[in-house]
Structure 1
Amino acid sequence: MSEEQKRILEKQLWGVANALRGKMNADEYKNYILGFIFYKYLSEKLERYVNEKIISGEDFTFAQIKEKTKQGQEDIGHIKIACIGHLGYFLKPTELFSYIVKKGKGEIKDQPKFILEDIKKILDAIEKTSANTDSEDDFKGLFDDVDLTSTKLGSRESEKNEVVVEVLTLLSGIDFKLEDAKSDLLGDAYEYLIGEFAAGAGKKGGEFYTPAQVSRLLAQIVSLDKKRLKSAYDATCGSGSLLLRLGEFTDVVNYYGQELNPTTYNLARMNMILHGVHFDHLRRNVKIGGLVIT
C-alpha cells in the first residue's frame, strides 16, 4: 500500500471514529468500530465465497436469494453447509452487512430503519452457526464487547440507532479490497486503529501497545535463518500484532497467545482471522483472573 493510499485510508477510518468521539472514551468506542469492521469483513468474505465458488454459474447472486420461498430455503440450506465447512460461520442474505446498511438508511421497501435488534441477532447468529464445529472457539464470545444497549450510544433507542447507522454507513464506503489476495488493506486498517486506540487509552489501564517498528524488528530477530516455525508463543499477546508480524518473515504453523484482558483477547482473535490465519491454525491459551485456559 502506497503512502497516499495509507493516508486516505487512515482519514476514512478516523472519520468513522469521529461519529463516536465525544460520546465515550477511545477504549470504549474501539469495541464498536473494530467489531463492526470485523462484521463487514465476515459478511463480504462470505458473500464473495458464495458468489464465486458455490453459485458462480447461476443467474442470481447470494444477496438476491428470496429467503421466504421454498427454493430459497433449499438453496440457503445447501450454501450454509458449504460455508460452515469452509469459512466456519454463516450469514443469511438479510444478515449481510450491505443489507443492514440499506435497511438502516431506509432503502429496503416496507422495512423499518431500526436495525439494533437485527445486529444483535446477527452477531449472535455468527457465533451460533459455528457451534460444535472446528471454528467454535474462534467465534465464541467474539462480539461480547459490542454493547448496543449502552446509554453512551444515546439515551433513546432511536438515538442509538442513528449513531450505529452512521458508523455502518461510513464503513460501507471503505473498500478493503478483499478480492486482491496480495492486499492486506483490511489488516493494515485494523492495526492502525488498534494502535491509535491503544496509544490513547491502553496506558491508563497499564496496557502498552508495541509499536509496529519494534514488532517488525523483534520478528526479524526471532525468525533469522528460519524458514518455518512449528509454533509461535506470546505470553502477553495483546491484539496479536507481534505474532502476526512474525508470520511476515517465516512460515508459522500454529500461533499461541496468552492475554489477561478478555476484550483485548477478542481483538487478537479478530486480528488473526483478518490477517488470514485460519481457525485450524489458531490455538488458545487465555489467562483470565489467574486461570489459564487452553
Structure 2
Amino acid sequence: MSENQKQQYLKQTLWNIANELRGNMDADDFRDYILGFIFYKYLSRKMESYANVILEPDGLSYNTVETHKDAEALLEAIRYEALDKLGYFLKPSELFSELARRGNAGGKNNFILGDLANVLTSIEQSTMGSESEDDFGNLFEDLDLTSSKLGKTEDAKNELIVKVLTHLEGIDFDLENSDSDILGDAYEYLIGQFASGAGKKAGEFYTPQQVSKVLAKLVTTNKTKLKSVYDPTCGSGSLLLRVAKEVKEVGAFYGQESNPTTYNLCRMNMIMHNVHYKRFDIYNEDTLVNPSPNHIDKRFEAIVANPPFSANWSASPLFMSDDRFSAYGKLAPKSKADFAFVQHMVHQLDENGTMACVLPHGVLFRGAAEGHIRKFLIKDKNYLDAVIGLPANIFFGTGIPTCILVLKKDRNTNAERSKSILFIDASQHFEKVKTQNVLQEEHIEKIVNTYRTYCHAEPVEASKAAIDKYSHVATLAEVKENDYNLNIPRYVDTFEEEEPIDLSRVVAELKEIAAQSRSTDATIADYCKQLNIETPF
C-alpha cells in the first residue's frame, strides 16, 4: 500500500470511528474528545519509541522498566532525556496502549476513567519548570471526563471512552516512518471534516485546504526556505503547516488564537506534524487587544491569515498611540475589524516578507475610515501587490464572496512593478461539490501562476500577467483615478458579449407563432360552437 493510500485509509477509518461512536453528541463536542485521544496516543507512541532507543544498548524495552530492579534510576534518566527531546514524559504504565489494554482486559468494560484523568494531568505536570511548559500547559483541558455529554452514568461514560481507546489502539499510525506525516495529515483532515459538518461554529477556526494552499503558495513565491511564518488568527494551525509544505524548511512558526479550544488544537497539530516544541510559539489571547509580548517586536518573513470576517472590536482611541495603527491617522470601525488585522500584520511584516490574507469583499470598496486606510497603504506606503477575488461559498458557515490581499514592503526595489497592482478575478473559476464551491487544482494553479508571472516578469513586461477576462495589471495612476476603490470589476472586464440577434429571423418566428395562434383560436371557436357555448375571446 502506497503512503497516499495509507493516508486515505487512515483518514476514512478515523472518520468512520467518529461517526460510529459520537452517537447523539454534537460534532463540536466529540471533536474535542477524539482529537484529544488521538493526540494522547501520538504522545505515547513517541515516548515509547524514544525510550526504547535509549534502552536498546542495555537490552531493555520500555514496557518492562517499571518492574526492573533499577526502575527509579532508569525512569529518572529517561525522563531527563525525554523532557529535552520531546518536551514531556510518560511512564510505561501511563501509555495509551496500557490504558486501552486495562480498559478492555478479559473482554470486559473495566473502569479506567480515574486512571485516564490522572494520566492526562500527569502529562501536563511532567513539563512543569521545563522549557516546554507553556507549549503543553492545559492541552487536555477540553477532555472533561466528568461531562454528562459522555453518558448519564459513570459506567456509561467509561464504556464510551473504552470503545474510543480500543478502536484507536487498533490503528497503525506508522510513527516509525520518519519521512511520513500520515497521522498529522489525518489529524488535520479530521479537524476539517468536523468543521465542514458542524457549520459556522467549527468553520470559524478552519481555513479550507484549497484556500490555505493558495495563500501558502503566494507567500512562498521565490522562496525555498523561510526564517519564520506567522498567523495572527491561527485557529487550529492548518494554514501555518500548509506554508511549511511549500518550502524545504521553516525556521519557526508563530501564531496567536483567542479561542482556548482551538488554541489547544493548534499546539497539538504542531506537535503531531513533528514540529519540535522549540520551533513554535502559539499564544492564547485576542491579537488586536493583547498581541503576544513575544511576537510584537518580531518581524516575520511570511504572514498568512484568515481573520474573522467583519468582527467587532473596541476601536478605542487609545489604539491611536499603538505603533500598529498610529501612522494611519484612523482606526478601522468598531463593527468591522478587517483593516485592523491588516494593519497589525503589516506592522509585523519583515522588509523582505510577503503577507497574504483572506478578507470579505467590502474591504475593497468601503469608504470612511476603511477608505482612508486603504489609500494610505497604496498611496503613502505602496505595499499592496495584488488583489485576488475568490468564489462565493467556499468557506464553511458563510456563503459570502471573499478576496485575498497580497502585501509586500519591498515593492519599491522594483521601480516598474512598484507602479502597478495585479488584479485577478477567480470568482467564476470553481467546481460545485454538493453545497460548497471548491477550488480544484487547476483553479489554484491558475491563480498562483498568474501571480508568479507578475512577480517574475521583467519590470517592463509585468503586463504578461494580464489574461483576458481573468486578470489585469493596473497602474497606480489607474487606481488613483478610481479613488483607491479596489472593486475588482473596475479593473478586470469579465463582460461576455451576447451573440448578435437576427431580427429578420425573430420577425419570421413571431409571424409563425401568430399564425399558429390564429389556427388554435379557430379550433377553439369551432368546439365552442359545437357545444353551443360562448367563445372565450
TM-score (norm 1): 0.92
Task: Give the aligned partner of residue 87 of structure 1.
Answer: 86
Q: Which amino acid aligns with 1:285?
A: Y
Q: Does 1:62 align with 2:62?
A: yes
Distance, in Å, in 1 between the alignment partners of 2:95 and 2:199 is 32
Task: Give the aligned partner of residue 8 of structure 1.
Answer: 9
Give the deviation of 1:113 after TM superposition.
1.9
Once the two structures are superposed, residues 124-157 of structure 1 have per-residue CA deviations (whole angstroms, 9 ceiling, x without a partner) of 1111111111111110010000010011111111
Task: Give the aligned partner of residue 106 of structure 1.
Answer: 105
Give the deviation of 1:284 after TM superposition.
2.7
Distance, in Å, in 2 between the alignment partners of 1:184 and 1:15 is 20
Task: Give the aligned partner of residue 129 of structure 1.
Answer: 126
Q: Does 1:159 align with 2:156?
A: yes
Q: Does 1:177 align with 2:178?
A: no
- For structure 1, which segment, 284-293 or 188-197, has the greater mean C-alpha deviation from structure 2 after superposition? 284-293
Corresponding residue SS for 1:232: strand
Task: Give the aligned partner of residue 281 of structure 2.
Answer: 283
CA contact (8 A) 1:104 1:114 kept: yes
Distance, in Å, in 2 between the alignment partners of 1:82 and 1:133 is 12
Q: Which runs of 5+ in 1 are unaligned?
A: none
Q: Percent identity?
A: 50
Q: Which amino acid aligns with 1:182?
A: D
Corresponding residue SS for 2:66: coil
Distance, in Å, in 2 between the alignment partners of 1:42 and 1:206 is 27
CA contact (8 A) 2:234 2:240 kept: yes
- For structure 1, which segment, 95-104 or 223-232, has the greater mean C-alpha deviation from structure 2 after superposition? 223-232
Match of 1:218 among 215, 220, 234: 215
Distance, in Å, in 1 between the alignment partners of 2:69 and 2:232 is 51
Give the deviation of 1:194 after TM superposition.
0.2
- For structure 1, which segment, 253-262 or 283-292, has the greater mean C-alpha deviation from structure 2 after superposition? 283-292
Corresponding residue SS for 1:253: strand
Aligned length: 290
Corresponding residue SS for 2:21: coil
Give the deviation of 1:291 after TM superposition.
3.6
**Larger Rg, first or second structure (1 or 2):** 2
Task: Give the aligned partner of residue 245 of structure 1.
Answer: 242
Once the two structures are superposed, residues 258-284 of structure 1 have per-residue CA deviations (whole angstroms, 9 ceiling, x without a partner) of 212110010000001111111111113
Higher helix share: 1
Distance, in Å, in 2 between the alignment partners of 1:10 and 1:228 is 29
CA contact (8 A) 2:196 2:202 kept: no
Q: How has the CA–CA distance of structure 1 residues 202 and 126 changed in structure 2, closer, same or farther, with 3 Å as cutoff?
A: farther
Distance, in Å, in 2 between the alignment partners of 1:266 and 1:236 is 13
Corresponding residue SS for 1:66: helix
Distance, in Å, in 2 between the alignment partners of 1:90 and 1:34 is 20
- For structure 1, which segment, 4-13 or 191-200, has the greater mean C-alpha deviation from structure 2 after superposition? 4-13
Q: Which amino acid aligns with 1:5?
A: K
Distance, in Å, in 1 between the alignment partners of 2:77 and 2:256 is 37
CA contact (8 A) 1:258 1:286 kept: yes
Task: Give the aligned partner of residue 261 of structure 1.
Answer: 259
Q: How has the CA–CA distance of structure 1 residues 199 and 112 changed in structure 2, closer, same or farther, with 3 Å as cutoff?
A: closer
Give the deviation of 1:255 after TM superposition.
1.1
Corresponding residue SS for 1:56: helix
Q: What is the root-mean-square deviation of aligned Cα atoms in Å?
A: 2.1
Match of 2:271 among 270, 273, 278: 273
Distance, in Å, in 1 between the alignment partners of 2:111 and 2:20 is 18
Corresponding residue SS for 2:234: coil
Distance, in Å, in 1 between the alignment partners of 2:189 and 2:277 is 23
TM-score (norm 2): 0.52
Q: Which runs of 5+ in 2 are unaligned?
A: 294-537
Corresponding residue SS for 1:231: strand
Give the deviation of 1:285 after TM superposition.
3.0
Corresponding residue SS for 2:227: strand
Q: Which amino acid aligns with 2:38?
A: I
Give the deviation of 1:20 after TM superposition.
3.3
Task: Give the aligned partner of residue 142 of structure 1.
Answer: 139
Q: More relative contact order in 1 or in 2 (CA 8 Å, sep 6+)? A: 1
Q: How has the CA–CA distance of structure 1 residues 135 and 208 changed in structure 2, closer, same or farther, with 3 Å as cutoff?
A: closer
CA contact (8 A) 1:202 1:208 kept: no
Distance, in Å, in 2 between the alignment partners of 1:87 and 1:7 is 28
Give the deviation of 1:19 after TM superposition.
4.1
Task: Give the aligned partner of residue 26 of structure 1.
Answer: 27
Q: Which amino acid aligns with 2:23?
A: G
Q: Which runs of 4+ in 1 moved over 4 A?
A: none
Q: How has the CA–CA distance of structure 1 residues 284 and 8 changed in structure 2, closer, same or farther, with 3 Å as cutoff?
A: closer
Q: How has the CA–CA distance of structure 1 residues 19 and 115 changed in structure 2, closer, same or farther, with 3 Å as cutoff?
A: farther
- For structure 1, which segment, 203-212 or 238-247, has the greater mean C-alpha deviation from structure 2 after superposition? 203-212
Distance, in Å, in 2 between the alignment partners of 1:282 and 1:248 is 16
Distance, in Å, in 1 between the alignment partners of 2:66 and 2:240 is 42
